[in-house]
Amino acid sequence: MNQEELIQDTFRGIFEAELINEIAAAARLVPFKEGDVLIEIGRYIKTMPLLITGAIKIMREDFDEGELLLYFIEKGDTCAMTLACCAGDKKSEIRAIAENSGLVAMVPVNRMEEWMGKYKSWRAFVFESYNNRFNELLSAIDHLAFMHMDQRLLNYLREAAKVNGTHVINKTHQEIAYELNSSRVVISRLLKALENEGKIKLNRSNIELSGSPT
DNA sequence: ACATTAATTGTGT
DNA sequence: ACACAATTAATGT
């Protein structure tokens, strides 16, 4: 598929045709692979990413050492942080890391401002995107504040499975612990407990979710 | 094919 | 949290 078809495929039904053409004309497609850092904390943001394929995880860095996963973004989403940063010319407060390989369309911010005035569907998209992120943030906070680690872990596994479109998660206990800002031993024990409950199956370097898709 | 090392996971204190 | 054992994968000889 060429660039235009990809963009049309992703945003058909969200934007009017005219806007999609403008996006296709202005966007620069950037492929990424798992582990790539797309946005680093403290960096200024000059282009806005629209996700075409793949998934990206949004991480927050903790006070001293350690990270915390806030949420994933998927196809058709954008990073709400970018929107805020662009408007205020501020540094990024978050880090974006590719969860798996995929493709983003990078759009210059000045175009985005122009579209804000020009297209209703774009405004709606931006607002809805904000709303989604806000809700995900709220639920992330709920998890942190009210859930125990075993529930957070299960929740994390399901999210990870969802964005990867599979029930097999190729992560080590270490990596998972890092993203949940916990220690490896705790994760190992909880994973084993989950395995005993029959909710997951443990192999080396990958974890199988049992149960319903999505 | 074998030994060595590193990485990953399991367990006890 | 720490230490260490056990298992598996990776690499060199």
Closest nucleotide to the alpha carbon of A172, via C1': B8
Note whether A134 and A152 are same-domain residues: no
Range of the domain at A32: 3-145
Note whether A78 and A32 are same-domain residues: yes
Note whether A165 and A180 are same-domain residues: yes
Q: Which nucleotides of C are covered by protein (CB under 7 A)?
A: 1-3, 8-9
Note whether A131 and A159 are same-domain residues: no
Please check whether strand B approaches the CB of A201 to within 7 Å.
no
Q: Which nucleotides of B are covered by protein (CB under 7 A)?
A: 7-12
Mean pLDDT is lowest, of A92-96, A164-168, A185-189, A207-211, for A207-211
Chain A 158-177 residues in 7 Å CB range of strand B: 172-174
Q: Report residue A171's pLDDT band, with 50, 70 and 90 as the boundaries.
A: very high
Average pLDDT, chain A: 91
Q: Report residue A66's pLDDT band, with 50, 70 and 90 as the boundaries.
A: confident
Please check whether strand C approaches the CB of A185 to within 7 Å.
yes
If one counts every other C-beta atom within 10 angstroms of the C-beta of residue A151, the result is 12
Q: What is the CATH number of the domain that holds A200?
A: 1.10.10.10
Q: How many domains does chain A divide into?
A: 2
Q: Is residue A52 within 8 Å of residue A24, measured between CB atoms?
A: no
Closest nucleotide to the alpha carbon of A183, via C1': C1
Note whether A99 and A136 are same-domain residues: yes
* Region of A169 on the Ramachandran plot (φ > 0 left; ψ -120 to 50 alpha; else beta): beta
- pLDDT value at A4 more than 80: yes
Please check whether strand B approaches the CB of A181 to within 7 Å.
no
Please check whether strand C approaches the CB of A116 to within 7 Å.
no
Note whether A21 and A126 are same-domain residues: yes
Please compute the mean of the pLDDT values over residues A39-59 and round it to a whole number.
92
Q: Which two tokens stand for residue A26?
A: 């202005």
Closest nucleotide to the alpha carbon of A175, via C1': B8
- Say what the pLDDT of residue A38 is: 93
E-strand ranges in A54-184 read 56-61, 67-73, 95-98, 102-108, 168-169
Q: Is residue A104 within 8 Å of residue A30, measured between CB atoms?
A: yes
- pLDDT value at A213 more than 50: no
Closest nucleotide to the alpha carbon of A205, via C1': B8
Residue A198 lies in a domain: yes
Q: Is residue A61 within 8 Å of residue A41, measured between CB atoms?
A: yes
Please identify, among A103, A127, A145, the residue that sits at the C-terminal boundary of a domain.
Answer: A145
- pLDDT value at A159 more than 90: yes
Instruction: For chain A, state the CA radius of gyration.
Output: 18
Please check whether strand B approaches the CB of A118 to within 7 Å.
no
Task: List the helix and strand counts (H, then E) for chain A.
Answer: 8, 10
Question: Which residue's CA is nearest to the C1' of nucleotide B10?
Answer: A188
Residue A137 lies in a domain: yes
Q: Report residue A64's pLDDT band, with 50, 70 and 90 as the boundaries.
A: low
Note whether A84 and A97 are same-domain residues: yes
Helix (H) or strand (E) holding A67: strand A67-73
- pLDDT value at A86 more than 80: no
Please identify, among A127, A145, A163, the residue that sits at the C-terminal boundary of a domain.
Answer: A145
Q: Is residue A27 within 8 Å of residue A50, measured between CB atoms?
A: yes
Q: Is residue A173 within 8 Å of residue A187, measured between CB atoms?
A: yes
Q: Is residue A133 within 8 Å of residue A84, measured between CB atoms?
A: no
- pLDDT value at A101 more than 80: yes
- Say what the pLDDT of residue A214 is: 41
Nearest-5° angle of CA A46, CA A50, CA A54?
125
Please compute the mean of the pLDDT values over residues A86-92 and round it to a whole number.
80
Q: Report residue A163's pLDDT band, with 50, 70 and 90 as the boundaries.
A: very high
Note whether A65 and A120 are same-domain residues: yes
Please check whether strand B approaches the CB of A132 to within 7 Å.
no
